[in-house]
Amino acid sequence: MMTIFTCTDSFEGILCGVHDAWMSRLGHENVSLALEDTGNLRMFAEYRRAEESPGKAEKVMEAIRRKAGREACERVYRASLSCEEQKADRIYRFLVCAFRVGPEIVNMLQIPAVYELFRMNRSVENEARSLIEFVRFARTDSGILFGVVGPRCDVIALMAPHFSERLNAENWIIYDEKRRKAVIHRAGGGWLTARLPDDSFRRKLADSGDQQEFESLWKIFHEHTAIPERKNPRCQMTHLPLRFRPYMTEFKGERR
Amino acid sequence: MLIQQEMDLKEKLAILSDAARYDAACTSSGVERKGKPGQLGSTAFAGICHSFAADGRCISLLKILYTNQCVYDCRYCVNRRSNDVPRAAFTPDEICRLTMEFYRRNYIEGLFLSSGVLESPDRTMELMHRTVWKLRYECGFNGYIHVKAIPGADPVLIGQTGLLADRMSVNLELPTAEGLKSLAPSKDRARILGPMRQIQTGIAAMERGIVPRGEPLKGAVYPWRRQFVPAGQSTQMIVGATPENDYQMLTVAEALYRNYDLKRVFYSAFVRVNDDSLLPALPGGPPLLREHRLYQADWLLRFYGFTAGELLSESHPDFNIFLDPKCDWALRHLEMFPVEAQTADYGTLLRVPGIGVRSAKRIVAARRAGRLDFAALKRMGVVLKRAVYFLTCGGRMMYPVPMDQDFIAAQLLGEERRRAWDIGQKDSYRQLSMFDDGFLNPVPTAEDRVSAALGQM
Ligand code: SF4
């Protein structure tokens, strides 16, 4: 019978799942990993909850680093941010190969388990990159730059290093309204991620006096920089899918 | 000339972004610069697109003219002296404010500043220089700046501006001296190539550690690291305003890459904004498909090791409408195919239709660790529906294909004709991605990535 180890939807949670499944010594083909609370219970399987502890996650991380190298570590981390329900098991399958082969594993896309991890990585990276491009900040009356996103994958932590370079002298917040998570950056300092109990804090953030002015200036520019003779909504759609637009200044008020 | 005083910032922005939009050479790539404490901004080597306009083109920089007033009368240009259009000019402070506030909100990657010629090239260059100087030194802006060099301006001014800008460009506009003479009589080739050479020499000197000479500016105390045009220079050629063929265009581009070390040549399908008897009529709209083919070929020059002479010749001077330049080339060189995926070197793999820079790299990395099959090639991004005619894997083709030009052409054409049709048909053209089809997929810049899909490159 299959034993399914369930874990929380987080990097640490998944690593703990990997740990417990591996240490159970039931054999790789007899175990699988699943996220908690997905509601997809399988018949003829035994469910075990992976106990979460930082020590365990640390140990697995160390093992990956040692046996499979840095690149594999990073890929596992990014895959853990994916929005795919099967990500935990896919990470496990990848690690089974990675521990056997070593650092070369990351190039071996001919192996399906490696390709799956690569594919999840790519979509996480793509979304982080898109949001680095598309996130819009509004300046609040207290001078904080406030940006809201609603990503499929949990990418705000991947966006933070970019903005902490670029907007180093600013106080800013990027808020993931789907997960109620935020990265918060203090001017001249570092950044941290925080979970927020609700989004009542948003009501306290009023726009600065010139926010409206720059929003309309930006809309004007956005409209006028397009060449009318080359109008191509389809192409615009491909590069800037509708799901990003509700968060973007230049599409505010546009009928969908 | 109608110059309105007391115009508000919104009106100015509308006029001066309208006036700048036909310049395609607007990217934010080529230099990686970290943020600096107390300053605003950083740059990414690959460039960053922040939005997409209704024409599907990437918006990376705040692309504006300083002014759309101009003493010249180039026939193709919407800002020419003889056009009766509203005129405006920014002040340096207005441009700084727009740039800083847009940048902070993550609308843009930086500033692209061009201009009509106000009074004289020197006066214009001087105003542009003053603007970017303010932006760097007074506002502490550390993001991307692209400035046009105005042909005919004092080299000292151009040199000074280059110390503040990341990229500079002088537009060639028309590929040959004759073309230039007919449509832009006030410009001549020497005046365009002069600043191009100056910028090239300045960059080369910078790379050897020599900061170009020039008067240090009074009051220059902000610790801006003096570098000369670190992201290199680019240029633009208009496609289809004059009778040059693709071979001439591509040969000029190749010469610019070789002799002037340009980072990029942009091609801009001619849009007939003026009713002028010397301009072609273009009933089908701007020649977008031709522009697209030129961008594809340009990529083959820059990333795939092709030369202009391999792709076109005097007797074969224009690109095939129905086949992309790489397929077209492969079909004319069937003796070099099929290629074996397990053993062919990187350069040879790159020449296979359906294999791009990224998939070629993945193949080379993966086969070191084990054997490949067609399914694996597909996962690595190889577009099999093209590559099958040119590729073996483990000594075998995916299915038996006669190495016959007509047969393969017919197979490829089925797909290509549809694409070409789509792109040539205004309003109905599909998104045509050179990345999805595996024709071109290195990731040199973010704008490349998206513009390729647009048919811009
Ligand atoms: S110099 Fe430039 S702005 Fe002036 S008419 Fe010629 S192309 Fe237009």
Domain-located, residue B200: yes
Check pocket membership of B72 for ligand 1, CB cut-off 6 A.
yes
pLDDT at B26 over 90: no
Does one domain contain both A119 and A184? no
How remote is the CA of residue B183 from the centroid of ligand 1, in Å?
11
Does one domain contain both A247 and A169? yes
How remote is the CA of residue B264 from the centroid of ligand 1, in Å?
21
Check pocket membership of B148 for ligand 1, CB cut-off 6 A.
no
Residue of B22, B111, B23, B20 whose CA lies nearest to B68: B20
- Is B443 in CB contact (< 8 Å) with chain A? no
Check pocket membership of B70 for ligand 1, CB cut-off 6 A.
yes
Does one domain contain both B242 and B390? no
Q: Tell me if B18 and A216 make a contact (CB, 8 A cut-off).
A: no
Residue B213 confidence (pLDDT)? 53
Question: What total of structural domains would you count in chain A?
Answer: 2
Residue B311 confidence (pLDDT)? 95
How remote is the CA of residue B119 from the centroid of ligand 1, in Å?
12
Check pocket membership of B79 for ligand 1, CB cut-off 6 A.
yes
Does one domain contain both B214 and B344? no
Does one domain contain both A99 and A163? no
ipTM > 0.85 (yes/no): yes
Domain-located, residue B222: yes
Does one domain contain both A239 and A175? yes
Does one domain contain both A145 and A108? no
CATH code of residue B206: 3.20.20
Does one domain contain both A88 and A176? no
How remote is the CA of residue B265 from the centroid of ligand 1, in Å?
19
Q: Tell me if B106 and A135 make a contact (CB, 8 A cut-off).
A: yes
The model's pTM: 0.88
* Cα angle B272-B274-B277, degrees, rounded to a multiple of 5: 90
Does one domain contain both A197 and A97? no
What's the gap in Å between the CA of A207 and the closest CA on chain B?
A: 12
Does one domain contain both B267 and B339? no
Q: Tell me if A234 and B41 make a contact (CB, 8 A cut-off).
A: no
Closest partner CB to B21 (pick from A226, A238, A240): A226
- Examine the fold and report which residue of A93, A126, A159 is the final residue of a domain before the chain moves on: A126
Does one domain contain both A116 and A14? yes
Q: Tell me if B271 and A227 make a contact (CB, 8 A cut-off).
A: yes
Closest ligand 1 atom number to CA of residue B65: 3
What's the gap in Å between the CA of A226 and the closest CA on chain B?
A: 5
Domain-located, residue A256: no
Domain-located, residue B294: no
- Examine the fold and report which residue of A99, A126, A153 is the final residue of a domain before the chain moves on: A126
What's the gap in Å between the CA of B414 and the closest CA on chain A?
A: 23
How remote is the CA of residue B52 from the centroid of ligand 1, in Å?
26
Per residue of chain A (256 residues), give pLDDT as tens: 899 999 999 999 999 999 999 999 999 999 999 999 777 777 788 999 999 998 999 999 999 999 999 999 999 999 999 999 999 999 999 999 999 999 999 999 989 999 999 999 999 999 999 999 999 999 999 999 999 999 999 999 999 999 999 999 999 999 999 999 999 999 998 899 998 888 888 888 888 889 999 999 999 999 999 999 999 888 899 899 999 999 999 998 765 4
Does one domain contain both A89 and A195? no
- CB-CB neighbors (< 8 A) of A221 in chain B: 13, 17, 62, 64, 102
Does one domain contain both A141 and A238? yes
Domain-located, residue B385: yes
Does one domain contain both A49 and A72? yes
Residue of A91, A23, A83 whose CA lies nearest to A53: A23
Does one domain contain both B228 and B341? no
Does one domain contain both B256 and B392? no
- Examine the fold and report which residue of A59, A91, A126 is the final residue of a domain before the chain moves on: A126
Determine contact, residues B81/B73, Cβ cutoff 8 Å. yes
Q: What range defines the domain where residue A234 resides?
A: 135-251
Q: What range defines the domain where residue B50 resides?
A: 9-275
* Exposure b/e, B339-359, CB count within 10 A at least 16 = b: bebeebeeeebbbbbbbbbbb
Domain-located, residue B287: no
Question: What total of structural domains would you count in chain B?
Answer: 2
Extract the tokens encoding B331: 């079909």
Domain-located, residue B311: no
